[in-house]
Amino acid sequence: MSLTLAAGGRRRRNALPGFGLTLGITIFVLSVLIVIPLGGLVARAASLSPSQILSILSSPRVFSAFRLSFGLAFIAAVIDGFVGILVAWVLVRYHFPGKRILDSLVDLPFALPTAVAGITLTALYADDGWFGAPLAKLGLSVAFTPWGIFVALLFVGLPYAIRSCQPVLADLEREAEEAAVTLGAQPAQIFWRVILPQLFPALLTGIALAFARAAGEYGSVIFIAGNMPGISEIVPLLIVIRLEQFDYAGAALLATTMLVMSLVILLLLNLLSIWRSRQYV
């Protein structure tokens, strides 16, 4: 037996024991929690005829909701990405009193219930609120308009952008920046040509995470949106409305469409991140 093992029959031991068992548990959990529910969603949507699918998706109300949800989510995610770089830069590169408190406040949208966030933002940006009153005097109403949706999406997506960029900034080597300074580079040139190329994949990751959160956000948006069909009505609200009307197939169709559109946009962002990374290898 020992000779057989010595002659080449020896089995390699995995670095982590129990690979077969852990892999089986992983596949089972992912199947139960992700694959099967999403498969059931798609199957329910597929029960509709092509004419019914076209009728639902081509409705002006549905089209307007998709345009509003995905358009505002994408714009908010991009803005969150660049604001996230700024906040992460301050938290990583500078030392000041209250830094730890500010760093902990970044995670507040993670812990805050979405309904509480929505009510708080509505109170602040209403025409008689702390922020809304000065804006109302300028002729800009935020609460119960698409601007209110935009503010809510900025709020829920910002932590993803900050936390994606922060560890990368902390791990960046300073030698390249110091060399650029000795060669006479200006601070703006150092950021755009030395720091940003290394930070770009993390930036895209933060934008993708912020977009994914914002596109399907419901709790914090529903209070401040106004929910006016064709103006400030989001897709998650349409899904809830169809569920209340017992139109489960229609709700599944809208949810499946959101899923596909989100996956396509996230795939494009990931491909862009991979392409940009290879440009600097």
Separation CA 197–CA 176 (nearest Å): 12
- pLDDT value at residue 11: 56
**Residue 67 Cα to chain centre, angstroms:** 17
**Residue 21 Cα to chain centre, angstroms:** 33
Separation CA 119–CA 156 (nearest Å): 14
Separation CA 132–CA 211 (nearest Å): 25
Separation CA 202–CA 170 (nearest Å): 12
- pLDDT value at residue 3: 44
Highest-confidence range of 130-139, 145-154, 165-174, 216-225, by mean pLDDT?
A: 145-154
pLDDT at 279 over 70: no
Q: Is 6 helix (H, G, I), strand (E, B) or coil?
A: helix
DSSP letter string over 211-227?
Answer: HHHHHT--HHHHTTS--
Pick the residue with more confidence: 166 or 278?
166
Residue 173 CB neighbours (<10 A):
8
Separation CA 172–CA 91 (nearest Å): 14
Q: How high is the mean pLDDT of the chain? A: 85
Give the tens place of pLDDT for each residue, 17-65.
677 778 888 899 999 988 898 888 899 998 899 999 999 998 999 999 9
pLDDT band at 1 (very low <50, low <70, confident <90, very high): very low
Separation CA 150–CA 217 (nearest Å): 11
* Distance spanning both ends of the chain, measured CA to CA: 49
The one-character DSSP state at 138 is T
Structure-token pair, residue 241: 């409305």
The one-character DSSP state at 14 is P
| Phi and psi, residue 139, nearest 5° | 85, 15
Share above pLDDT 70 across residues of the chain, in percent, rounded to a whole number: 91
Separation CA 246–CA 23 (nearest Å): 39
Pick the residue with more confidence: 129 or 279?
129
- pLDDT value at residue 13: 61
Tell me the domains of the chain and their CATH numbers.
53-279 (1.10.3720.10)
